[in-house]
Amino acid sequence: MKEIILIKNGELALKGLNRSTFEDMLVGNIRRRLKDLGDFEIRKSQSTIMVEPGEDFDLEEACARIGKIFGIAGYSRAAAAPKEMEQMLAAAAEYLAPTLRAARTFKVEAKRSDKQFPLRSPEICAQTGGYLLRRFKNLSVDVHKPDFTVNIEVRDRDIFIHGPQVRGAGGMPTGSSGRGAVLISGGIDSPVAAWMMAKRGLALSAVHFASPPYTSPMAEKKVQDLLSRVAVYSGRIALFTVPFTEIQETIRDHCPEEFFTLVMRRMMMRIAGIVAQRDNCSALITGESLGQVASQTVYALGCTDAVAQMPVLRPLIGMDKDEIVRISRMIDTFELSSLPYEDCCTVFTPRHPRTRPTVEQLEKVEAAVDWGDMIQRAAENTKFKMIY
């Protein structure tokens, strides 16, 4: 029996004029993510995307991956039967047998998008229900709260038979909102922030600041591993690792301790902005959450925003730590994030950071040094790695 995957679009169905562009993007994303699973074909028809496997296609793995592609509201595996009732009924009984044998009650829902088909939906339901009742003596019909719903969809080429739809990852197709660069540390927050913005349709680039020898190569490896977990959802991520030691040492040697973190964060914003612009990004993304630490008060955020050349998206801004942790567990980054490697943020931490800094104070503190060349050097000497 031919088995396929039926995919229902998410929010992109609302996009009116742009709809077909969005759909094409989603189809492209699906194609890329299933590429190594064998031969398959993708078809679009009537706001449904169909994945039709060829010979040695790994359907199981394909479903697992489809569950993590943004822009998909739901999907189901379905049997494709010929458009003839006798054959369809036999196929339905065979395909759904394991589930129907285990159920006590069921109902049938039919959709006829091919209006040429001789039976109308209620007739299809009645005939299918009657047939399954005769074949499975354990079953009775319950239209209100059935154990199992049999779905019959009469389409242009085939009739599809399937059980309930599995919920998809939701959101919008990655890339449909443009591209953003996430400032990625090894912590819990920034991978979650990256995932959330990818969910809203941003393709991802990533910028990581490393300060060897204060930070270890293991910390960089950890960031790469974290990003590859995010890439399961977002697709590939261009990672730029910025050499940050010179700037951090200069901050340590020339700025008052209480401003260390804030000056560092402003330097990060400036460099990330240059790297991001070069990689065609239109926004920066951080894992900041209001009040979580001294550098995340509204005053501190104001000071970092003051030097940003593009919008800074902070999807976690209103979230509690436990809500963030819940997502990081769900996307499988929590354990990795909890590994203990030094981040550049923890290298020279002030004992008493300023929590109510002003832009004027920071500008004065920074005026002690000519940062221009150092910033350019850092932005030019990034290491690049594509993360899959």
Given the rule CB under 6 A, which residues bind ligand ATP? 183-185, 187-190, 207-209, 286-288, 292-293, 295, 343-345
The least CB distance from residue 91 to Mg ion, in Å, is 54
Q: Which of the ranges 185-193, 294-302, 303-311, 377-385 carries the binding residues for Mg ion, by CB under 5 A? A: 185-193
- Does position 185 interact with Mg ion (CB under 5 A)? The reply is yes
* Helix, strand and coil in the chain, % to nearest 5: 45, 25, 35
Residue 190, binding choice from ligand ATP, Mg ion, none, Cβ under 5 to 8 Å by partner class = ligand ATP
- Whole-Å CA distances, 23 to 41, 42, 53, 71: 16, 12, 20, 9
Of 224, 210, 181, 275, nearest in space to 385 by CA: 224
The least CB distance from residue 259 to Mg ion, in Å, is 18
The least CB distance from residue 189 to ligand ATP, in Å, is 3
Q: Which of the ranges 152-160, 242-250, 300-308, 341-349 carries the binding residues for Mg ion, by CB under 5 A? A: 341-349
Nearest CB to Mg ion, comparing residues 50 and 184:
184
**Site track for Mg ion across 295-334, x = CB under 5 A:** ----------------------------------------
Nearest CB to Mg ion, comparing residues 216 and 280:
216
Helix (H) or strand (E) holding 57: none
Joined together, the tokens standing for residue 171 give 């959101």
- 112 DSSP β-pair partners: 154
Count each helix (H run) and each strand (E run) in the chain, helices first: 13, 15
> How, if at all, do strands 237-243 and 202-210 pair?
parallel
- Does position 187 interact with Mg ion (CB under 5 A)? The reply is yes
Pairwise CA distance, residues 220 & 319, whole Å: 27
Which residues form the interface with Mg ion (CB under 5 A)?
185, 187, 343, 345
